[in-house]
Amino acid sequence: MKDKRIYISQLQDHIGETVTICGWLYNIRSKGKILFLQLRDGSGRVQGVVVKGQCTEECFASCESLKMEASINVTGMVREDRRAPSGVELTVTDIKVVQNPEEDYPISKKEHGIDFLLEHRHLWLRSSRPEAILKIRSNAVSILRRFFNERGFILIDTPILTGSIGESASTLFSVDYFDLGKAYLAQTGQLYLEAACMAFGRVYNFGPTFRAEKSKTRRHLTEFWMLESEVAFLDNEGNMKLQEEMVSYLVEGILASNEKELELLGRDTEPLKKVKPPFPRITYSEAVKLLEKLGKPIQWGDDLGGDEETVLTEQFEKPIFIVNYPKEAKAFYMKENPEDTRTVLCADLLAPEGYGEIIGGSQREDDYHKLLSRIREEKLPEEAYAWYLDLRKFGSVPHSGFGLGLERTITWITGNRHIREAIPFPRTISRLYP
């Protein structure tokens, strides 16, 4: 009989059969006449047992010679083993070595510093923690897409090379663009989504965004993925309702299908189970008073920094919205608050347990003249925004949207301290390798 090639995740359905696993050796132990091979293939991990005398001499010798991270095809009989994490074990009968490394694998069981691990990210991806985090990330992306698809939103892929500044001129990456001068790498797809929402009503995008962040913090990357949504005829409150529904849907989905990964990461899931609508809303001005009481005073008008966000979120069990920031702390496109014109109709969503901002959103300025004067106040190049202003000339409506930072959200859900592990190959001010 020709052996069946299956994935480790399918072993449970093949108890008593002889199958072949194609994967890598991540550890090997020997106990006299028995070798224990720890195998992984991306879908899971399993132990293969090689007993001298129960396989050919050649097979045993090959197994004995294996080095860490050797790539192999292992054939064996699947046995139930309740003590094993995978519930099964493989009694090895044959092995084909695809490639046996000539050098020692650089990553070992001993503690490595974070710089060493980041320098070896291309190999570190094979370890169990990165595997768990990135599987959660993959699932989060499909849950978020499902959330919008189920509700009839239209996916609009916005450009990465752009001619207008979306957020702040101080964090732009630019590239030479033929005879047209400079193009900027998108900081956000928002302005284009606003155009699309006037055509399609409810839209979203999900793509890479770029910020030349000169700060080295545990919350900043220079390249990160953002999920953005924009809805016509929606105000700031409706925008927050959509966000709390989405975040709760996401957390619930991860809790339901990534139990194994969360456990491996040692994530306490109790705080995540509390993530259910409604989320508290506090105004920026209330936050300033609260910060004063908590011994972290800031001046009215200043933006909240990471430290302030941490202190604030520790006061609540759920994510919180901070609404109506001062105009000067936020981007030009936010709608002025008619009840207090020093502020804008916006909301940042801060994740609990000290994590801080994961979403920035607002109602958009829909008045042509007010928007034009904000563009002038900010000294933005008016010609580049002509198309954006057109949206306020032809059927302008109240509309709102937001952007969720994927890596910050994954950092929170996985209970990590630093954002760099939430993306396969992190880009920061000091890292472009590997």
Q: Which residues of the chain form contacts with Mg ion (CB under 5 A)?
A: 360
Residue 348 Cβ vs Mg ion, minimum distance, rounded to whole Å: 6
CB of 330 to Mg ion, least distance (A): 8
205 binds ligand 4AD (CB under 6 A): no
Cβ–Cβ < 8 Å for 320, 277: no
* Residue 95 lies near ligand 4AD (rule: CB under 6 A): no
Give residues 160-179 in contact with ligand 4AD (rule: CB under 6 A): 166-167
Q: Which is nearer to Mg ion, 23 or 360 (CB)?
A: 360
Q: Is 308 in the site for ligand 4AD (CB under 6 A)?
A: no
Structure tokens at 334: 């936010």
156 binds, among ligand 4AD, Mg ion, none (CB under 5 to 8 A by kind): none
Long-range contacts of 162-170 (CB under 8 A, 24+ apart): 162/186, 162/192, 163/384, 164/191, 164/380, 164/381, 164/384, 164/385, 164/388, 165/380, 165/384, 166/190, 166/191, 166/331, 167/211, 167/331, 168/331, 169/380, 170/212
- What's the min distance (Å) between Cβ of 340 and ligand 4AD? 21
Binding of residue 335 to ligand 4AD (CB under 6 A): no
Question: Which partner, Mg ion, ligand 4AD, none, binds residue 402 by CB below 5 to 8 Å per kind?
Answer: ligand 4AD
Q: Which does 364 bind (CB under 5 to 8 A by kind): ligand 4AD, Mg ion, none?
A: none
Q: Distances from the Cα of 112 to the Cαs of 115, 124, 404, 429, 434, in angstroms?
A: 8, 11, 32, 22, 17
Q: Which is nearer to Mg ion, 89 or 244 (CB)?
A: 244
Does position 408 bind ligand 4AD by CB under 6 A?
Answer: yes
Stretch that binds ligand 4AD, among 30-38, 134-142, 156-164, 213-221 (CB under 6 A): 213-221
Our finding on whether 228 is near ligand 4AD (CB under 6 A) is yes
Q: Does 319 bind ligand 4AD (CB under 6 A)?
A: no
Closest contact distance (angstroms) between CB of 310 and Mg ion is: 15
Q: Which is nearer to Mg ion, 95 or 358 (CB)?
A: 358
Phi-psi domain of 55 (left: phi exceeds 0; alpha: psi -120 through 50; beta: other): beta
- By the rule CB under 6 A, 356 interacts with ligand 4AD: no
352 makes contact, choosing from ligand 4AD, Mg ion, none, with CB < 5 to 8 Å by partner type, with none
Dihedral-angle region of residue 386 (phi above 0 means left; psi in -120 to 50 means alpha; beta otherwise):
alpha
Does the protein bind ligand 4AD through residue 211 (CB under 6 A)? yes
Closer to Mg ion by CB, 49 or 329: give it: 329
Of residues 81, 139, 357, 428, which one binds ligand 4AD by CB under 6 A?
357
Q: Which residues bind ligand 4AD (CB under 6 A)?
A: 166-167, 188, 190, 211, 213, 220-221, 224, 226, 228, 357-361, 401-403, 405, 407-408
